[in-house]
Amino acid sequence: MPAHFELTITLGVNGSKIMALTEINDFSYQVIILLVVMLTKLTISRFIEHEPLRFFQFYCQQLSNKVNKSSNSAQQQTVAGFVAIVVTLLPLAVILWLFADFVALDYLWHGLLLYCAFGGFSLQQTTKHIAQAIVGNQSYVAKQTLAPWVLRETEQLSAVGLSKAAIEMQLLRTLQQGYTVAFIFLTLGPLAALLYRLLLEMHYCWNPKLTQFNHFGYCASVLVNICQWLPVRLFALQLLIFNLGKNFLLFWRLSRGFIFQLNNNIAILLLALSLEVKLGGVAMYQQTKLRRVNFNDLAQQPKVTDIIHANKQIKQVIAMSLLYVITLAVTCTFINM
């Protein structure tokens, strides 16, 4: 990362030249890269759906098939999962770190790493298609559209179940593949953001909710939750701020018990409270019912319109967070001038 990014502007006034030199510090430089990459990915996602890490997903599946043996003890499977993470991410980290020295244009390299680290920006379109299918009584289309985005089984979901799953999916995907990636990029740099995303893909492939990965995927799950802990709490704080003057104190009392838990429950709860709907509950994985935490249990079940309302609230939090980041970057730049 360069110590500063210099922007030189030459202006001609009555035949004379005026040079304006602005030094942009590291944080402001990263914010500019973040905004450019987000805009680029958002534009591309409107035309084509693509996943730069698809080959890595295939690699994770093949690796687990090779080293995750059901005949091993629970401890051996857990150790095997941890070793799989280390032997995969450590060499990649070293290679990418060394390769950066051969790149002439740092900002292109950093932008490329961040672009790969970000998840798809087509969630809004996906949830819109799901909502339209539910409204049109095309439950099969809605289930097939939702299925690639969730781990749970969708075949038996009703309209209520589809709405609930779509809301939870867009919240968790946004937190995991967008909000946390951006946070890590701004605090630790592009390489750390990409390594987190690779770890997240391991978690997706080796999710402990699946029986064969109960132990093998444990370490990946814990490490991902550790990486997400602070960004998720910042996201939850934004949701609380949006409820200032309404039910802020009530929401705070109901959610404060989740602050130090190593999961995303606080964000799901606050979104459920904001939407005044019930989230969580039973979900089917491998034809087995898994009883999860119920959030806002006394509220009504979500409707199709709540999918759109959830999307709107999530976008508001992202917009507010970007505004904070841009304001901080501008302030830091003027202080250093």
Distance of CA 102 to the CA centre of its chain: 30
248 versus 234: the higher-pLDDT residue is 234
CA dist., res. 331 & res. 186, Å (int)? 16
Q: Is the pLDDT of residue 16 over 70?
A: no
Q: Is the pLDDT of residue 3 over 70?
A: no
pLDDT of residue 52: 87
Alpha helices per DSSP H over 100-217: 106-117, 123-135, 139-146, 159-174, 180-188, 190-205
- Is 200:225 a contact under the CB 8 Å cutoff? no
Tokens 């970000």 correspond to: 118
Mention every residue, 6+ apart, whose C-beta is less than 8 A from residue 117: 181, 185, 190, 193, 194, 196, 197
Q: What is the pLDDT of residues 204-233, one digit of tens each?
A: 999 999 999 999 999 999 999 999 999 999
What residue ranges do the domains of the chain occupy? 5-336
Alpha helices per DSSP H over 242-282: 248-255, 265-275
Q: What is the pLDDT of residues 56-97, one digit of tens each?
A: 999 999 999 999 998 899 999 999 999 999 999 999 999 999
pLDDT of residue 254: 92
CA dist., res. 190 & res. 71, Å (int)? 39
DSSP 2: -
Q: What is the pLDDT of residues 116-148, one digit of tens each?
A: 999 988 888 899 999 999 999 999 999 999 999
Question: Helix, strand, or coil here: 20?
Answer: strand
Confidence of residue 164 (pLDDT cuts 50, 70, 90): very high
- Is 61:88 a contact under the CB 8 Å cutoff? no
CA dist., res. 229 & res. 19, Å (int)? 45
Confidence of residue 24 (pLDDT cuts 50, 70, 90): low
Share of the chain above pLDDT 70, in %: 93
25 versus 10: the higher-pLDDT residue is 25
pLDDT of residue 337: 64
DSSP 177: I
Q: What is the pLDDT of residues 37-60, one digit of tens each?
A: 999 999 988 888 778 898 999 999
The strand pairing partners of 6, in sequence order, are: 23
- Is 176:151 a contact under the CB 8 Å cutoff? no
Q: What is the pLDDT of residues 168-207, one digit of tens each?
A: 999 999 999 999 999 999 999 999 999 999 999 999 999 9
Q: What is the pLDDT of residues 101-114, one digit of tens each?
A: 888 889 999 999 99
Token readout for 333 is 């730049």
- Is 97:191 a contact under the CB 8 Å cutoff? yes
DSSP 53: T
Token readout for 126 is 């996906």
Rounded mean pLDDT of 312-319? 94
Mention every residue, 6+ apart, whose C-beta is less than 8 A from residue 5: 23, 24, 28, 29, 32, 107
Rounded mean pLDDT of 155-159? 91
CA dist., res. 198 & res. 88, Å (int)? 9
Tokens 């890590």 correspond to: 184
